[in-house]
Amino acid sequence: MQEVNVTLTVNQKKYEVTVEPDERLLDTLRDRLNLTGVKEGCSIGECGACTVILDGKAVNSCMVYTFQIDGSEVLTVEGLETNGTLDPLQEAFIDHQAVQCGFCTPGMLMSAKALLNENPNPDRDEIKTAIEGNLCRCTGYQQIIEAIESAANQDRSE
Partner 1 sequence: MIEFEALKAQTLDEAVNILDDKENEAKIVAGGTDLLVSIHNESEELKGLNYILDISSVKGLEIIEDNEDYLKLGALCTHSEIIDSVLINEKLPILRKAAQTIGSTQIRNRGTVGGNINNSSPAADLITPLIALGAAVVLHSSNGKRELPLSEFITGPYQNSRKENEILTAVKVPYLPTDYYNNYQKVQRRQAVAIARINLTVLTNIEKNKFKDIRIAFGSATPTAIRFSEIESELENTNINQIDYDKIQEKTGQEMIDITGERWSTPYKKPVVGNLLKRALQEIIKEVQ
Buried b (16+ CB within 10 A) or exposed e, 107-128: bbbbbbbbbbeeeeebeeeebe
Quick check: 43 binds partner 1 (CB under 8 A)? yes
Quick check: 51 binds partner 1 (CB under 8 A)? yes
Name residues contacting partner 1, limited to 137-156 (CB under 8 A). Answer: none
In angstroms, what is the minimal distance from the CB of 101 to partner 1? 20
Quick check: 2 binds partner 1 (CB under 8 A)? yes
Q: Do 108 and 136 meet the contact criterion of CB atoms below 8 Å apart?
A: yes
Per rule CB under 8 A, count of chain residues that contact partner 1: 32
Quick check: 125 binds partner 1 (CB under 8 A)? no
In angstroms, what is the minimal distance from the CB of 43 to partner 1? 5
Q: How many CB atoms lie within 10 A of CB 102?
A: 11
Among 127, 66, 77, smallest CA distance to 103 is for 77
- Say how far residue 120 (Cα) sits from the centre of its chain: 17
Quick check: 99 binds partner 1 (CB under 8 A)? no
Q: What is the DSSP letter of 65?
A: B
The Cα 83–Cα 85 span in angstroms is 6
List the x/- string, 5-34, binding to partner 1 by CB under 8 A.
----------------xx-x----------
Contact positions vs partner 1 (CB under 8 A): 1-2, 4, 21-22, 24, 43-46, 48, 51, 57-60, 62-65, 67-68, 70, 111, 114-115, 129-134
